[in-house]
Amino acid sequence: MNSFYNPVQVVCGNGAITEIPSLLNNIVSAGGKVLLITWNEAAAQLEAFAKLSDNFEFRTVCFNESNPTVEQLFELYSQTADYLPEAVIAVGGGSVMDVAKSLCCFYGKEIQTPDEMRRMISEKSFGAPQTKWIGVPTTSGTGSEVTCWATIWDPTQNVKRSVESRENFAYAAVIDPNLTNGMPLKLAVSSALDAAAHAMESYWANGSNVVSKALALGAVKTIMSHIDSLIGGIDNAHEYMAQGSMIAGLAFSATRTTACHSISYPLTMHYNIPHGTAVAMLLAPVMEINSSCIAEYGALLEALGVGSAAELGEKIRCILNRAGIPSTLEEWNVDYNKIPGLASLGITKGRADNNPVNITKETIEGILYSIYR
Ligand SMILES: [Fe+2]
């Protein structure tokens, strides 16, 4: 029977980052080493972090790549492994969070080459993490601060890898909506739709359970009923997106995602379609295929504020376009003749087989043609 387990301590609300020093006191010895990994130097200047050097040995590194690769992860490991922090604070979007939590699995182990790291990831042979981490998201979408896996891309081998361990949940997730206020609109909308996808896919996933379904429904409603405000620039919309994203993260931390995420990965890898946008375009056609197998489907439609999957498709296309984001594969310059090849890459273990309806290469081809123009 599916169960719900998530040990992350969640601190959520404007000003939440001021709690970080006291959280660190629980997991780092006096004068112990703390590493801040962040998107840019500005985060390190925030008052909550500037004071940390009073109580801890404190170092900052920047990581500003999207969709981190095994080689980039190894490079960051090489820069910081000798420092061997007791705790890592990840301040950023999903990419920063993914490299930070991955590093916690590797610190304390001797790794000489990217290939050695690649092998440890695929064999899950890194053992128990020695370093704890705290996630501080600056985008509202990935939910990575409350999941125990990290996405690391491997374009040289044409695959997406997952660094995961139930022993590597964050010690704490600090959700401070003030940090997400400056997000550009396209990023904010794409991230919000990624979070909506996490919640929707969690709701219909084979791995769902009574707790995850309640969380998923709440997240869908929170995000979809405030996304117009986000596009309209209404002030407190970011607070709702921050909450919805984190709650969606809790839901799918127990269930994983399904066909939308599975099919989206080659679109991102080969055509640079932002992750949230790629999954958003797939939500309606996948929901249509799944609809007869989704328990309590009416509650999901109600939370989405639509009467059917077709209506959801129109709604998402409208949201993307209002934010200035292309909403068809043609607009993203996907080669029509390459769709069969993309479809064959769209079946990812642990995602496609978590979908309530069996997804074949032919099913995916049909879905991709349906969102081509
Ligand atoms: Fe996602």
Q: Cα torsion at 176, 274, 96, 21 (round to 10°)? A: 0
pLDDT band at 50 (very low <50, low <70, confident <90, very high): confident
What separation in Å is there between the alpha carbon of 204 and the centre of ligand 1? 15
Judge whether 154 and 114 are in contact, CB under 8 Å: no
Q: Across the strands, what pairs with 135?
A: 90, 173
Q: Is the dihedral of CA 7, 12, 17, 21 positive or negative?
A: negative
- Fold adopted by 9-178: Rossmann fold (3.40.50)
Question: Is residue 156 predicted with pLDDT exceeding 90?
Answer: no
What separation in Å is there between the alpha carbon of 275 and the centre of ligand 1? 6
CA–CA dist 172, 95 (Å, integer) = 18
What separation in Å is there between the alpha carbon of 144 and the centre of ligand 1? 9
Q: Write out pLDDT tens, residues 238-277.
A: 999 999 999 999 999 999 999 999 999 999 989 999 999 9
**Average of per-residue pLDDT across 153-169:** 89
What separation in Å is there between the alpha carbon of 13 and the centre of ligand 1? 23
Domain positions in the chain: 9-178, 186-370
What separation in Å is there between the alpha carbon of 160 and the centre of ligand 1? 13
What are the backbone dihedrals phi and psi of residue 212, each rounded to the nearest 5 degrees, phi first?
-65, -35
Q: At what angle do helices 210-224 and 237-255 cross, to 10 degrees?
A: 150
Q: What is the pLDDT of residue 37?
A: 96
**Average pLDDT value for the chain:** 95
Q: What is the pLDDT of residue 9?
A: 98
Whether this prediction's pTM lies above 0.85 is answered by yes
**Average of per-residue pLDDT across 346-354:** 90
Long-range CB pairs of 359-364, under 8 A, 24+ apart, other chains included = 359/259, 359/262, 359/263, 359/289, 363/289, 364/259, 364/263
What separation in Å is there between the alpha carbon of 137 and the centre of ligand 1? 14
Question: Is residue 66 predicted with pLDDT exceeding 90?
Answer: no
CATH 2.60.40.1840 fits 186-370, yes or no: no
What separation in Å is there between the alpha carbon of 197 and the centre of ligand 1? 7
Let me know if 361 is exposed, middle or buried by CB neighbors in 10 A (0-12, 13-18, 19+). Answer: middle
Question: Is residue 43 predicted with pLDDT exceeding 90?
Answer: no
* Cα-based distances in Å from 202 to 126, 194, 199, 211, 327: 28, 12, 5, 11, 23
**Average of per-residue pLDDT across 19-40:** 94
Q: Write out pLDDT tens, residues 280-300.
A: 999 999 999 999 999 999 999
Q: What is the pLDDT of residue 121?
A: 95
What separation in Å is there between the alpha carbon of 152 and the centre of ligand 1? 13
What separation in Å is there between the alpha carbon of 199 and the centre of ligand 1? 10
**Average of per-residue pLDDT across 311-316:** 98
Q: Write out pLDDT tens, residues 86-138.
A: 999 999 999 999 999 999 999 999 999 999 999 999 999 998 999 999 999 99
Q: What is the pLDDT of residue 67?
A: 87
Same fold, 9-178 and 186-370: no
**End-to-end distance of the chain based on CA atoms, in angstroms?**
41
What separation in Å is there between the alpha carbon of 134 and the centre of ligand 1? 20
Q: Write out pLDDT tens, residues 208-243.
A: 999 999 999 999 999 999 999 999 998 799 999 999
Judge whether 269 and 155 are in contact, CB under 8 Å: yes
What separation in Å is there between the alpha carbon of 192 and the centre of ligand 1? 10
